[in-house]
Amino acid sequence: MRAAMADRSLDELLPAQALAQQRASIRDGHCGLLPDTQMAPMTRIQIARDRSMAQAALARLAPGQTVLLVAGNGHVRRDLGIPVHLGPLSGVRVLMAQAGPPATPGAAQPDAVWPTPAVPARDHCAELRRQMGR
């Protein structure tokens, strides 16, 4: 992760608008508690993870075979997640398991949604504030 945090070339893997959205997602996902100096490095980690998962899936592709990659909501976003790093690969489908409406409407652009039972609500920001001593 340390290498990814310092690798500015990762910033160039997403269009400017997608990079800004990814930074906003990192900020929001950390409840606005990250210092501004950590935004770019943490975003690079996310981009590096997405690229790594895409490379792992591509390495396993074979004619007549299906590759199933299970990843979180932010990672499967077509506009800034793993699909960006798959290139012009045809046949990519995104199935999202989801309870209730999407957290970010339209962002993930799944091909299908698999409704799941809701889990009890948790205040993740309160937990993060407590962990960070804030």
Ordered per-residue pLDDT tens for the chain, 134 residues? 999 999 999 999 999 999 999 999 999 999 999 999 999 999 999 999 999 999 999 999 888 888 888 888 888 888 889 989 988 776 778 777 777 666 555 555 778 888 888 888 889 899 989 988 87
Q: Return the pLDDT at 108.
A: 58
Q: Return the pLDDT at 122.
A: 87
Q: Which of 20, 7, 10 is nearest to 79 (CA)?
A: 20
State the Cα–Cα distance between residues 21 and 49, nearest whole angstrom.
16
User: E strands along the chain, which residues?
Assistant: 95-98, 112-115
Distances (CA, A) of 38 to 18, 22, 84, 88, 130: 18, 13, 23, 32, 19
Q: Which of 111, 113, 91 is nearest to 102 (CA)?
A: 113
Locate 130 and state its tokens: 């407590």
Q: Return the pLDDT at 40.
A: 96
Structural Rg of the chain based on CA atoms: 16
Locate 70 and state its tokens: 């299970």
Locate 120 and state its tokens: 């009890």
pTM score: 0.84
Structural domain harbouring 89:
2-131
State the Cα–Cα distance between residues 76 and 92, nearest whole angstrom.
11
Locate 96 and state its tokens: 């999202």
| Total number of domains in the chain | 1
